Amino acid sequence: MAGAVTTDTRPVDLDHVVISDDGDRYRVTLNRPERRNAITGEMIAELHRVCAIVERAPKPVLLCGAGRNFAGGADIAQLARRTRDDALAGINRTLFDRIAALALPTVAVVEGYALGGGAELAYACDIRIAAPDAVFGNPEPALGILAAAGASYRLPQLVGISVAKQILLAGARLDAEQALRHGLVMEVADDPFAAAETVIDRIVAQSALALRLSKTVIDAPGHHPWADDIAQAVLFEGPDKTDRMAAFLEKKS
């Protein structure tokens, strides 16, 4: 077995993904390094199981790939066999939307290639930390298909419509420095795992409920000041606000 984690007293055995519970965070690793962590149907199914674990006991997630790459794309041999009905089922998109909707922040560590479905998986995370050799791209039209697992609506929000079209229509790729310049990644680091752990350290030091509600209102479509007000009202009446502000004022005095 590639990896196993126990939750709710039930062991979960995985072959293409490794999940570890590191106390206040999860680390999830795509584990097909011999294939640049190409995303298969089996990996998608296992990542749904991982999502179920995280949904039952929410914590921040560090998502990465084994070996020298994040994910080089979908497994083309499997993709070649998919049909119209598979496309309409939104196999990859449904998973990536589920990852994007996880309650607490997700941080992707991107080394090497994040292409095609691998790039779309990275786009679904809240924050991306890149190694200097990271490369993002969506070459799907070269294979006669489109980037249909979230790139069409996530990438324009992340980098703007002009850069998104350069990637999705003209086959442009972003290296790490270009990704940083366009806001796709938070940081380029020689040790991206240490940088990601530092980010998650800051996340777990904050109020989990405040983070959950913040992520909900940020990701909600459209203009929604009423939702912000309602979320803030919930937080104003909660013990976290009272305790944290009292501690701040006591420290200041």
Residues identified as active-site = 120, 140
Question: Of 2, 9, 7, which is closest to residue 52 (Cα–Cα)?
Answer: 7
Q: What are 74's strand-pairing partners?
A: 39
Instruction: Give the β-pairing of 135-137 and 173-175.
Output: antiparallel
Phi, psi for 71 (deg, rounded to 5): -165, 120
CA–CA dist 56, 69 (Å, integer): 29
Q: What residues have CB less than 8 Å from 116, skipping those under 6 apart?
A: 72, 73, 74, 137, 138, 139, 140, 147
Q: Answer whether 104's CB lies under 8 Å from 205's CB.
A: no
Which tokens hold the place of 38?
A: 């190409």
